[in-house]
């Protein structure tokens, strides 16, 4: 079980994590939460309907990680618009789609990251020992979403667009300052892959 998820009888998944691994995942999830930010009605908790009917932003985020997490719905990097009119139409459709969907997407990503933090906070691994994290099927799906978001965030910081970019980073020398982030990217990828396998029928 060390380093990868295994299926639990009756559904769900389990993985053994040591103190350092718990700390790394928790720290990354907290950073992701800070980057995503609070909900639109975070300053008005007395009005539960405020967030439900709040409109989201119409412009894409400026931060490259958030751009990766919340991409434009009507942009196709492999197919340039045929005219200025088509480009303007795409921007208009993207803005409208973002206005009505981004708040929900952000809420879902916040919930996934919070689920990771809460489940890790319930673990207690001693020095040199591993604790076994056991996830119910719903929690497994939340973890899967959060692991995907964490990998996208790291990929954005490392400028990983395709497989060729990733292959170059795998061969970085140990003294390269990006090496720890690359190792985290690879490790989270292994966790994500094995978690996916536990959810398959």
Is residue 111 one of the residues assigned to a domain? yes
pTM summary value:
0.81
Is residue 181 one of the residues assigned to a domain? yes
Is residue 41 one of the residues assigned to a domain? yes
Domain extent at residue 10: 6-199
Q: What is the pLDDT of residues 104-148, one digit of tens each?
A: 888 999 999 999 999 999 987 666 678 999 999 999 999 999 999
Is residue 14 one of the residues assigned to a domain? yes
Is residue 36 one of the residues assigned to a domain? yes
Please indicate whether residue 194 or residue 174 has the higher confidence score (pLDDT). 194
The total domain count for the chain is: 1
Residue 1 pLDDT: 40
Split at pLDDT 50, 70, 90, the class of 54 is low
Please indicate whether residue 183 or residue 76 has the higher confidence score (pLDDT). 183
Is residue 11 one of the residues assigned to a domain? yes
Is residue 54 one of the residues assigned to a domain? yes
Q: What is the pLDDT of residues 84-99, one digit of tens each?
A: 776 666 666 667 777 7
Is residue 1 one of the residues assigned to a domain? no
Range 2-11 contact pairs with CB under 8 angstroms and sequence separation of 24 or more: 2/130, 3/187, 3/190, 3/191, 4/190, 4/191, 4/194, 5/140, 5/191, 5/194, 5/195, 5/197, 5/198, 6/194, 6/198, 7/197, 7/198, 8/134, 8/135, 8/198, 11/136, 11/137
């Amino acid at each position: 079980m060390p380093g990868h998820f295994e299926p639990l009888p009756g559904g769900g998944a389990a993985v053994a994590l040591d103190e350092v691994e718990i700390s790394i995942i928790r720290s990354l999830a907290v950073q992701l939460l800070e980057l995503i930010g609070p909900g639109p009605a975070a300053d008005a908790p007395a009005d539960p309907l405020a967030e439900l009917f709040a409109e989201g932003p119409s412009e894409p985020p400026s931060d490259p990680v958030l751009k990766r997490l919340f991409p434009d719905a009507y942009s196709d990097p492999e197919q340039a618009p045929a005219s200025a009119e088509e480009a303007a139409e795409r921007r208009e459709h993207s803005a409208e789609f973002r206005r009505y969907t981004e708040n929900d997407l952000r809420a879902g990503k916040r919930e996934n990251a919070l689920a990771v933090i809460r489940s890790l906070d319930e673990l207690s691994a001693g020095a040199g020992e591993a604790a076994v994290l056991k996830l119910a099927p719903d929690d497994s799906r939340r973890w899967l979403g959060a692991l995907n978001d964490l990998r996208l965030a790291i990929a954005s910081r490392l400028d990983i667009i395709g497989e060729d970019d990733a292959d170059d980073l795998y061969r970085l020398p140990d003294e390269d300052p990006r090496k720890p982030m690359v190792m985290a990217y690879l490790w989270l990828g292994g966790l994500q892959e094995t978690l996916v396998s536990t959810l398959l029928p």
